[in-house]
Amino acid sequence: MIAVELRKLVLRPRVWLSILLLCALPLVVAVVLAAADFPPPPGQGGAFLSAVLRNGSLYPAAALALVLPVFLPLAVAVLAGDGIAGEAATGTLRYLLVRPVGRTRLLIAKLVALCAFILLAVLLVVITSLVIGILLFGTGAEAVGQAGAVTSLSGVTLTPFELTLRLLGSIAYIVASMLGFGVIALFLSTLTDSGLGAALAALAVLITSSVLETLDAAGPIKPYLPTNFWLAWIDFFRDPIFWHSIEKGLLLQAGYVIVFFGAAWANFSTKDVTS
């Protein structure tokens, strides 16, 4: 069933369209920056944006910072929210279940397809933005004196190899963050026959979490908000890497995956399928 879900994923025009749009946002920002040719002051725009003008190989990090807050979760919510509810709406859910595909097996396949989608989306954003960054801003050889080397947020020079490792770490961390959020959407998807409803409900969770994060009064619950450690991957670009938030974030996302996948399983496996 996992193979079937993966095939359905790549055969779906909507999937490629959403990834295309994700890759387009960093492109637009890069073109605007290159045309203006002065860096945004630190603190304005996304993370890393002021640094990329000097070195394009850091642009993937900037691109990830651009898509992470809204666009990536949006794409994840749409896909995961469609997981069960979309099958129910087209009527294919009942035909899958009588094929038979076990309900647990179907949910696991949906989870794997969700992982694959996030990984694919993040990788393509990184690759396209790397190409864009190098084409538009160069590799910054003149600034640091070594081709491909970049300066970390802490001011230490990183070799291309180190940069690649840190970028891979960031990708893994972002995939984990999105997965924690996507599983919430997947759970909501088992509650309704409307994929749109599930996606919107997941976005409502995202917005609520982001709003609470900015409130000092929400201090006690802050460490448990799904979005709280989303930006911790930036710590991969410090020297030495700040592992503290990264570890906490991974633990938190693992908790979300376990709790909400469990809830999705409990609900779906006992549910009357009347769609």
Partner 1 sequence: MIVTRALTKRFGHTLAVDAVDLHVREGDRYGFLGPNGSGKTTLVRMLLGLVYPTGGSIELLGRPVPRRVADVLPSVGSLVEAPAAYPHLSGRRNLTLMDAAGAGGRRDRGRRVEDALELVGLSGVDNRPVKAYSLGMRQRLGLAAALLRRPRLLVLDEPTNALDPQGIREVRELLIRLNEAGTTVFLSSHLLGEVEQLCTRVGVVDHGRLVLEETLDGLRRPTGRVLVSTPDAAAAVSLLDGQLESRDGSLLVVRHTDPASLNTLLVEAGLRVSEMVVERRTLEQVVLEVTGSGSDRVDAP
Residues at the contact surface with partner 1, assessed by CB under 8 A: 1, 3-4, 7-8, 11-13, 90-92, 94-102, 270, 272-274
Q: Which of residues 152 and 189 has its CB atom nearest to partner 1 in the complex?
A: 189
As measured in angstroms, the least distance from the Cβ of 274 to partner 1 is 6
Nearest approach in angstroms of CB 250 to partner 1 is: 33
Residue in this structure with the two tokens 């549910």, named with its chain if needed: 271
Token digits for 151? 């300066």
157 closest CA partner among 169, 170, 140: 140
Neighbour tally for 38: CB within 10 Å:
8
Shorter beta-carbon distance to partner 1: residue 37 or 272:
272
**Closer CB to partner 1, residue 20 or residue 254?**
20
Q: How far is the CB of 131 from partner 1 (least distance, A)?
A: 30
How would you label 185-219 residue by residue, b for 16+ Cβ within 10 Å and e otherwise? bbbbbbbbbbbebbbbbbbebbeebbebeeeeeee
Alpha carbons 205 and 211: distance in angstroms, whole number? 10
Which is nearer to partner 1, 12 or 238 (by Cβ)?
A: 12
Instruction: Tell me the closest approach of the beta carbon of residue 15 to partner 1, in angstroms.
Output: 11
Contact 106, 96 (CB under 8 A): yes
Shortest Cβ distance from residue 148 to partner 1 (Å)? 42
- Which C-beta is closer to partner 1: that of 90 or that of 208? 90
Residue 144 neighbours by CB distance under 10 Å: 16
